[in-house]
Each structure stands twice: as structure tokens, then as C-alpha cells.
Amino acid sequence: MERTGTILRGREFEPVEGRVVIGDDGRIEAIEETAVESDDIILPAFVNAHTHIGDSIAKEAGGGLSLEELVAPPDGLKHRLLRDASREELVTATEQSLRFMQRAGTAACLDFREGDVAGVRMLEDAAAGLDIDALSFARGSIDAMRAGDGYGASGANDDSFDRERAATREAGKPFGIHAGEVDASDIDPALDLEPDFLVHMVHPEPRHLERVAAQEVPIVVCPRSNLVTDVGLSPYADLHERTTLALGTDNVMLNSPSMFREMEFLAKLSDLSAADILRMATINGAEIADLEYGLIEPGREARLLVLDGDSDNLVGARDPVRAVVRRAGVDDVQEVVYG
């Protein structure tokens, strides 16, 4: 199998005209530079590094509420709606969001999964038959972590999470935790847990930035969500100077799980380069979850997003990386290749 067009190759997304050759094992065998007739743009499929897709039953609910009123456990609006919904309703709504993400070029999402073991099973049922990798960063119990792909802690002000961190490390799975979303009070205790990644970090102080650098802990930022909940915006440039950043769309309750929208939003409110943002949406998230895709190089799993470079939206683009990050959308998706 092969795909032809302008290939955004490697970590620098060097535009290469040619073909990607994919073997029977679903891995990239070669990238051949050659003249081709295709106007397609071929890039790595996205990795959405932070989602809450159980919220899919309550899209755009809770307008005007604070973050605590919306999502704070156990009685935020989201949690009340989740309790009131049937299992069938939750699975169906989650499947619909996964289908949208798959169609919009997302190969994997790292979902902070409510509902304990039962929540993990619901995500498995919702993803059955789809190509997208829906990874459960479970919460509620150590058993939930063992049933899923990692642990996704709510925040260090909610609990100590010492036992969960030790068990996750023993299981050899990643541990992520929200930190610095509303204020700085939970950042130090979150860093004390030596997490594999943090989420949000809207309010780090200088000493937190130095700790992040020293511990080399990646951070997933969710700019649209932070704007909607009025908690502020992360210091993207300061964080980028010190560690690896990845990109997530956060609660489906608040935002469509579109990586195109998230990239464009971040590109237009920050000084980060288009290549930096595309890395945040692909390889950086993949590396947090230890996935073997996220960039186009021989030997990698072939999870590719093919855009129609001749679409009314993209035709005439002089810089394909900037075009992907700042203007491309789901209507430009020609195909998502899953090896």
C-alpha cells in the first residue's frame, strides 16, 4: 500500500514530494522522494492527549457556570449528569464522539475516565469496531487503573494519590494528573508524585517552572477549555522552553474534540511556531502514551492523515505546515490511514 503527495516527514515536518510505502505489517517501509501527480498533504494522524469523552451526553450544558460547578467531583454538573444517564446512553454518546474524532484525523485519545472499572468497560464497548485507540486513564480505584491503560488523577487538592501512584508505577503504566488549572496550590503536591505528565498548568509560578524543567515532566495544555472555563491561559512559551508540550481538547461538554480547532486556536493566541504546535498534536502526545506512531518515518506504525491539498480551503497554500495548523479542517480530510 502507498500514499502519494506532499509528505510532512519526521519531527521537523520537512515537506517531501513523493510516496509513503506501507508494508503488510502496517508499518512504514519507505518514504520515496519523487515527482507525483497528487496534491494531497500527508501528515501523522493526531494524538489527542487529554479528553473527557464521557461528557458527550451533555454537550454545551452548564453555560455560565464556574469550573468547580461544572466538573468538580463528586457533585459538579457533569458528575450529576453522568450518574443520571443509563449505560446505553453513555456508551452511545461516547461512540459518537470517537467516530467524530476518527473522521477528523485522530488516531488516539488519552481519556481521563470516570466511572471506575465500569467506566473503562464502557469506553472499550464504545470503541469496539473503530480504528481509533481510545486509551483509558482510569480513576476511582487501583483496579480501574489495572483494567485500563494508566491512571488519570483529578488533582492533588482532591486526594494524596500516593497509593495510586505507587500501584501505577508497579504496573508499568503512565500516571497523569491535573495541576495548576484554577490556581497554583496543587502544583507542588502533583510534582511530588513524580507524574509521567501534567495537564493544564495555567498558573505555574517561577519555582514550578524550574521544577518542571528539572523533572522533565511533559505537560498537556488545553487552551480552548481553559478559555471557556475562564481560568486563564497557560504560559505556553515559558512551558515550551522547559519541557515537552502536548495538546488536548479536554471535556466534550465544553468543546468539540477537534484537533484542527485546538491547533488553530493555539496558533493564533500564542507565539509558538506551526511546527511546534503540530508536534504537540502528534508525536508529543504519542510519546506520553508510548505509542509507536505520531510521525512519518520508516519503521513507525502507519497512522496517517491525508488532506486534500486541492480543496477550496487549502489550494494555493505556500506553507503546508502552517496551512495544516492554522486553516485545515475536517472538510479537508481525504482519508485516515490505519496501517
Q: How many helices (H) and strands (E) does the chain have?
A: 14, 15
Average pLDDT (137-143) is 96
218 contacts 288 by C-beta, under 8 angstroms: yes
The pLDDT value given to residue 160:
95
280 contacts 26 by C-beta, under 8 angstroms: no
> How many other C-beta atoms lie within 10 A of the C-beta of residue 318?
6
Q: Which residue has the cell 511530588?
A: 192
**Strand, coil or helix: 82:** helix
- Take residue 148 and report the three cell numbers written for it: 485500563
Give dist(CA 232, CA 234) in Å, integer: 7
Crossing angle for the helix pair 274-281 and 259-269, nearest 10 degrees? 150
CATH of residue 215: 3.20.20.140
Average pLDDT (35-61) is 95
Among residues 227, 225, 251, 229, which one has the least CA distance to residue 82? 251
The pLDDT value given to residue 76:
83
pLDDT for 78 beyond 80 = no
Summarize pLDDT for 58-75 with one digit per residue, the tens.
888 877 778 888 877 777
Q: How far is CA 314 from the centre of its chain?
A: 24
Are 40 and 52 contained in the same domain? no
The pLDDT value given to residue 18:
98
pLDDT for 334 beyond 80 = yes
Are 74 and 33 contained in the same domain? no
Are 235 and 323 contained in the same domain? no
Domains contained in the chain, number: 2
Positive/negative CA dihedral, 295, 300, 305, 309: positive
CATH of residue 325: 2.30.40.10
- Take residue 294 and report the three cell numbers written for it: 505520531
Average per-residue pLDDT for the chain: 96
74 prior amide bond cis, ω within 30: yes
Are 183 and 264 contained in the same domain? yes
98 contacts 336 by C-beta, under 8 angstroms: no
Are 17 and 110 contained in the same domain? no
Are 75 and 15 contained in the same domain? no
Average pLDDT (155-163) is 96
Domain extent at residue 329: 2-44+293-338
The pLDDT value given to residue 73:
77
Are 206 and 315 contained in the same domain? no
Give dist(CA 95, CA 65) in Å, integer: 27
Are 246 and 130 contained in the same domain? yes
> How many other C-beta atoms lie within 10 A of the C-beta of residue 86?
9
Summarize pLDDT for 82-96 with one digit per residue, the tens.
788 899 999 999 999
The pLDDT value given to residue 176:
98
Summarize pLDDT for 233-290 with one digit per residue, the tens.
999 999 999 999 999 999 999 999 999 999 999 999 999 999 999 999 999 999 999 9
Give the pLDDT band (50/70/90) at residue 184: very high
- Take residue 217 and report the three cell numbers written for it: 515532566
Phi, psi of 38 (to 5 degrees): -75, 140
Are 278 and 301 contained in the same domain? no
Are 258 and 334 contained in the same domain? no
Average pLDDT (127-146) is 97
Say which residues have a Cβ less than 8 Å from residue 334's Cβ, sequence separation at least 6.
40, 306, 307, 308
Give dist(CA 14, CA 5) in Å, integer: 13
The pLDDT value given to residue 58:
87
